[in-house]
């Protein structure tokens, strides 16, 4: 694999030099070459029906996309299907990453999930399917973002074969609905008038992944036909795609990084100030950390760990001296195995009763079924307080080592709780959409278009069952990053493959936990309804007046209800061996000293004894905790109208075209959340109303020699995330944290400017360079601060029902109404500028002799820089109140540099391509010193894919694709100086063998 990466890096400058040489050669050839011979009949023929799109190969699809880009007024990038029912890449999101300025965010198993455009994350990008906005949400592992409750679109819900074209509009236009700060992505499914006559296609693929060792199918089909009738032209189309896949992901995660004095600190050695304080109930005294746990901390190691401060170098602020070194909160190995089944169906009816009238009905259905199995083997006590389960304060530090950055890279401990945890997450995303649209030309100059449709997306999670087996107070646990900074060697001090090493029983009187179970029900729904009426009047050949009105209603709801309890006493004769299975074959590619197996829960066997998912009194703890539910909803009503002028003039030998207009939008957002007040659920409702006028200008100058100069300017907005608007309050008495929603958030508003030059220097070739700027007036971010709980205006009952008693006891609640808590809430803060540059080149190597003329290249590069002012708060013991701090940094999710490179070959029968997609490191989160770090950073990544295909007969094609050829890992680092590993996972390489038949 090292050689592959080296070859890719060495190839890139060579290709850039070749591209420059190509441009020079093409420019010389245009001036020196003799007149071109007359076009052949095939070249000069044009379709009789202007709605017909002929797409017959990868090169042809690139040409079609280039023509669409060339004819647009704003800055638009397009991807067309390279063949009927086949997209250029295996995944819809992975196809979009080839567009300049688009970077991919991957989900579990490494599959493309969401996109960022020009550094702005998925929440800033609106996605429309067949003309109306849609939202599709799925779940994922907690550290990979968990459930999508926001506006971001999860492309993994849909098979790429269902779509005929993707369009990324990066500039605003008065006629295009507002709501996007990054881009508007238009997805269009196939229609019968896209094809000539009857078209039938069928495809079959087999996917193999070298980590999961599974081979699984993918099937696609399309049937389209059109007829001439006495009532005009009629067409019908139906397409479908179905696939199964097992996505596997393995690696290490820390969950969080905590300072040594957090959660009560470690158990002190004999001879220094005693910690924790003596407690007869817990067996703590001057010689013991707890029952059977003598104080074995090494004095030198203790002093080294507890006396350290953070090493941020004043990036935000330094906490008080003696905060202690930072350690993983829950160091653990993880295997995530997701079995999914994806089904998609589209239908389309078209009727053209005359040349002046057209009517369309587009239907779409998608279902994405998932069963995700997460298994962890971990040291749990580093993230436990004394009150919750006798955690970290009963753990002794035996040895410690630090690297040159101040990272605690080796630690050995006694009194550590070891945990085997298994999770089954069952969730289904269902998407349904219909769009009824059409238009009528009343005269040569006046035409009216209409559109009405709804999209409904539901993410239903009937079961998320987690079972944890514990082995308390183990001596000899260690973590060691000295030989591998990404995946430490974890010595658990016990035989983790032996089920009898663990316990599953009720909590002891002193607080010792012997396992527990946790459940959750979740349902998230998005319903978006759109009605539009638009008109266009051609004043003359140079001016067209356009206007329209739209009414939209967006409804979002989210319900979450938890259950769970401490471990249950197993019936007589039942052992852990009876309810466990082995996680086996673990650790390929993760280095030495990683366990290949461990004992984990077998949920079916456990439920045969105790059905923890019955949610009934017969199994204590399984009942739903309705009083601590999260029931939230947001309804947005949006009325918008626009007026604009399209113009097209020739002045001074230059063609000038474009549009100028203004869009007005009035938004009324009603947000609701149920709160527990005195044991009763009561709605908390907030209404917010705002109006925006959004001017937009798009100007294109068509210069000699097929050079286009484009300028765009406008005002845009992006509405707050639904989950941020919900006026909810989430309280954890165990951890002393409170999260509060804000129904009065303003949208993020910005002024945008784009300048781009495009040179179509040869047939089917283009090179472009663009500059863009977004002046963001406001931003929405989480601000954390400390406050006394009873000053927040929240009822004390929220503490009672957050899982512990406010009056203390065993296990007790570490938070009382008069205690200080960490409060997190979303607020509007000052924004900042975002500037960038895009370079794009598409060149066929037709200037080369012989077979070499069948080669070609696509390449693009994007550079983005932003400066957002983040507000943080820090607990400062030297002041009476919180100290507000600010730090300037890039947007979260913004990779300053990204590039894509594709080399392709295509002749009459054989086609091949190899692609590289790179994005540099980016910020995942900006953290205040309440936690003790500055940033969480995602490492840069480069993904390599390749494919070949051969046309066996005029109707039958065979293909072979390789995905993620270098098994690129995903890594999160915490704190820019220490760069502690928060997550490191990989998902393996995939090979896809396919056959497709078309007639």
Q: Residue written as tokens 């001439």?
A: 228
What average pLDDT does range 791-819 have in this prediction?
Answer: 59
Residues with Cβ < 8 Å from 17, sequence gap 6 or more?
A: none
Check whether 321 has a pLDDT greater than 50. no
Q: What are the tens digits of pLDDT across the range 82-100?
A: 644 445 565 677 778 888 8
pLDDT tens digits for 534-584?
Answer: 999 999 999 999 999 999 999 999 999 999 998 888 999 999 999 999 999
Question: How high is the mean pLDDT of the chain?
Answer: 85
Average pLDDT over residues 867-883: 56
Distance CA 968, CA 977 (A): 24
Closest CA to 138 of 119, 158, 121: 158
pLDDT band per the 50, 70, 90 thresholds, residue 493:
very high
Q: How many angstroms from the chain centroid is the CA of residue 433?
A: 23
For 711-715, the CB contacts below 8 A with 24+ separation are 711/754, 711/755, 712/74, 712/75, 712/171, 712/172, 712/752, 712/753, 712/754, 713/751, 713/752, 713/753, 713/754, 714/171, 714/172, 714/173, 714/751, 714/752, 715/172, 715/749, 715/750, 715/751, 715/752
* Better-predicted residue by pLDDT, 33 or 567: 567
Instruction: Give the separation between CA 126 and CA 799, rounded to whole angstroms.
Output: 38
Q: How many residues does the chain have?
A: 999
Contacts of 352 by beta carbon, 8 Å cutoff, 6+ apart? 193, 232, 233, 234, 358, 359
Q: Judge whether residue 892 has pLDDT over 90.
A: no
Number of other CB atoms surrounding residue 908 within 10 Å: 8
pLDDT digits (tens, 9 = 90+) for 721-730: 998 999 888 7
Half-sphere exposure of 254 (CA within 13 A, CB side): 27
Report in angstroms the alpha-carbon separations of 885 from 257, 309, 316, 739, 978. 21, 19, 7, 20, 21
Beta bridge partners of 673: 632, 684
DSSP string, 170-197: -S--TTSPS--SS-EEEEEE--GGGSSS
For 707-724, what is the mean pLDDT? 94
What confidence tens digit (pLDDT) does each residue in 125-157 have? 999 999 999 998 888 777 666 678 888 888 888
Question: Residue 928's pLDDT band (boundaries 50, 70, 90)?
Answer: low
- DSSP state letter for 634: E
**Whole-number Cα distances in Å, 505 to 387, 492, 837:** 18, 21, 60
The pTM (predicted TM-score) of the whole model is: 0.86
Question: pLDDT band at residue 800, thresholds of 50, 70 and 90?
Answer: low
Per-residue pLDDT tens over the stretch 207-234: 999 999 999 999 999 999 999 999 999 9
- Per cent of the chain over pLDDT 90 is 64
CB 694 within 8 A of CB 172: yes
Average pLDDT of span 35-56: 37
pLDDT for 733: 66
pLDDT digits (tens, 9 = 90+) for 388-428: 789 999 999 999 999 999 999 999 999 999 999 999 999 99
Rg (alpha carbons) of the chain, rounded to whole number: 30
- For residue range 249-303, list pLDDT tens digits in order: 999 999 999 999 888 899 999 989 999 999 999 999 999 999 999 999 999 999 9
Q: What is the DSSP code string of 664-714?
A: EEEEEEEEEEEEEETTEEEEEEEEEEEEEEEEEEEEEEEEGGGEEEEEEEE
């Amino acid at each position: 694999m090292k050689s592959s990466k080296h070859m890719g890096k060495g190839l890139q400058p060579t290709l850039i030099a070749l591209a420059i040489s190509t441009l020079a050669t093409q420019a010389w050839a245009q001036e020196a070459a003799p007149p071109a011979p007359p076009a052949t009949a095939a070249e000069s023929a044009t379709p009789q029906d202007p709605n017909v799109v002929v797409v017959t190969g990868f090169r042809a699809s690139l040409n079609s996309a280039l023509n669409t880009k060339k004819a647009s007024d704003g800055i638009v990038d397009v991807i067309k299907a390279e063949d009927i029912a086949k997209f250029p890449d295996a995944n819809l999101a992975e196809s979009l990453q080839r567009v300049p300025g688009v970077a991919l965010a991957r989900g579990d198993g490494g599959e493309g999930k969401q996109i960022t455009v020009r550094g702005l994350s998925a929440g800033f990008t609106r996605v429309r399917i067949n003309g109306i906005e849609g939202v599709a949400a799925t779940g994922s592992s907690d550290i990979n973002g968990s459930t999508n409750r926001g506006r971001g679109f999860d492309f993994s819900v849909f098979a790429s074969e269902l779509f005929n074209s993707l369009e990324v509009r990066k500039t605003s236009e008065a006629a295009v609905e507002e709501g996007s700060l990054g881009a508007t992505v238009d997805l269009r499914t196939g229609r019968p008038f896209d094809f000539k006559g009857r078209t039938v296609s069928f495809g079959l693929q087999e996917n193999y992944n070298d980590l999961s060792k599974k081979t699984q199918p993918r099937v696609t089909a399309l049937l389209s036909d059109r007829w001439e009738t006495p009532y005009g032209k009629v067409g019908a189309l139906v397409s479908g795609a179905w696939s199964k896949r097992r996505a596997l992901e393995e690696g290490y995660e820390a969950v969080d990084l905590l300072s040594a004095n957090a959660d009560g600190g470690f158990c002190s050695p004999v001879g220094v100030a005693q910690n924790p304080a003596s407690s007869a109930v817990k067996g703590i005294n001057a010689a013991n950390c707890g029952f059977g746990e003598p104080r074995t901390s090494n004095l030198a190691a203790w002093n080294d760990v507890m006396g350290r401060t953070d090493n941020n170098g004043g990036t935000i602020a330094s906490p008080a001296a003696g905060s202690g070194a930072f350690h993983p909160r829950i160091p653990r190995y993880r295997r995530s195995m997701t079995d999914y089944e994806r089904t998609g169906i589209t239908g389309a009816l078209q009727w053209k009763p005359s040349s002046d009238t057209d009517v369309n009905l587009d239907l779409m259905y998608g279902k994405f079924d998932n069963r995700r199995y997460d298994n962890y083997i971990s040291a749990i006590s580093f993230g436990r307080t004394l009150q919750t389960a006798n955690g970290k304060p009963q753990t002794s530090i035996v040895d410690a080592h630090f690297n040159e950055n101040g990272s605690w890279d080796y630690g050995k401990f006694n009194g550590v709780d070891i945990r085997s945890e298994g999770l089954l997450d069952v969730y289904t995303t269902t998407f349904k959409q219909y769009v009824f649209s059409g238009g009528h030309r009343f005269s040569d100059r006046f035409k009216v278009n209409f559109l009405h449709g709804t999209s409904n997306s539901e993410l239903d999670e009937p079961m998320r069952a987690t079972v944890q087996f514990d082995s308390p107070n183990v001596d000899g646990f260690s973590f060691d990053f000295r030989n591998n900074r990404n995946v430490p060697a974890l010595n658990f001090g016990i035989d983790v493959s032996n089920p009898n090493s663990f316990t599953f029983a009720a909590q002891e009187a002193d607080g010792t936990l012997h396992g527990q179970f946790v459940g959750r029900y979740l349902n998230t729904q998005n319903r978006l309804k759109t009605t539009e009426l638009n008109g266009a009047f051609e004043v003359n050949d140079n001016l067209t007046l356009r206007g329209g009105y739209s009414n939209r209603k967006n409804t979002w709801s989210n319900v979450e209800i938890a259950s769970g309890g401490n471990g249950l006493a197993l019936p007589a004769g039942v052992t852990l061996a009876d309810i466990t299975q082995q996680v086996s074959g673990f650790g390929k590619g993760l280095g030495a000293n990683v366990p290949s197996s461990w004992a984990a829960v077998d949920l079916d066997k456990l439920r045969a004894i105790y059905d923890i998912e019955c949610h009934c009194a017969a199994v204590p703890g399984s009942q739903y905790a309705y009083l601590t539910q999260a029931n939230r909803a947001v309804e947005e009503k949006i009325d918008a109208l626009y007026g604009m002028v399209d113009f097209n003039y020739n002045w001074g030998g230059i063609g000038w075209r474009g549009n100028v207009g203004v869009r007005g939008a009035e938004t009324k957002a009603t947000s609701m959340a149920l709160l527990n007040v005195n044991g009763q659920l009561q709605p908390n409702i907030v209404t917010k109303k705002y109006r925006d006028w959004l001017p937009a200008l798009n100007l294109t100058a068509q210069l000699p020699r097929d050079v286009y100069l484009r300028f765009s300017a406008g005002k845009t907005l992006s509405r707050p995330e639904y989950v941020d608007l919900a006026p909810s309050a989430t309280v954890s008495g165990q951890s002393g944290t409170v999260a509060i929603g804000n129904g009065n958030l303003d949208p993020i508003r910005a002024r945008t400017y784009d300048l781009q030059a495009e040179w179509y220097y040869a047939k089917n070739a283009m090179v472009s360079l663009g500059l863009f700027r977004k002046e963001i007036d406001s931003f929405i971010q989480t601000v954390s601060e400390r406050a006394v709980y009873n000053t927040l205006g929240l009822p004390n009952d929220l503490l009672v029902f957050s899982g512990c008693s406010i009056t203390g006891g065993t296990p007790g609640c570490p938070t009382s109404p008069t205690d200080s808590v960490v409060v997190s809430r979303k607020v509007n803060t000052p924004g900042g500028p975002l500037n960038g540059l895009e370079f794009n080149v598409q060149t066929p190597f037709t200037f080369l002799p012989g077979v070499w003329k069948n080669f070609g290249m696509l390449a693009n590069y994007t550079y983005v820089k932003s400066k957002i002012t983040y507000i943080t708060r820090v607990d400062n013991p030297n002041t009476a109140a919180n100290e507000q701090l600010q730090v300037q940094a890039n947007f979260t999710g913004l990779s300053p540099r990204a590039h894509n490179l594709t080399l392709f070959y295509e002749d009459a029968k054989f086609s091949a391509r190899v692609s590289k997609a790179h994005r540099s490191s980016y910020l995942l989160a900006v953290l205040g010193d309440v936690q003790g770090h500055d940033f969480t950073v995602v490492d840069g990544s480069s993904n390599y894919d390749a494919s070949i295909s051969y046309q066996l007969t005029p109707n039958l094609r065979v293909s072979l694709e390789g995905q993620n050829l270098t098994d690129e890992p995903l890594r999160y680092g915490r704190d820019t100086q220490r760069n502690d590993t928060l997550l490191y996972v990989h998902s393996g390489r995939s090979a896809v063998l396919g056959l497709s038949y078309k007639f």
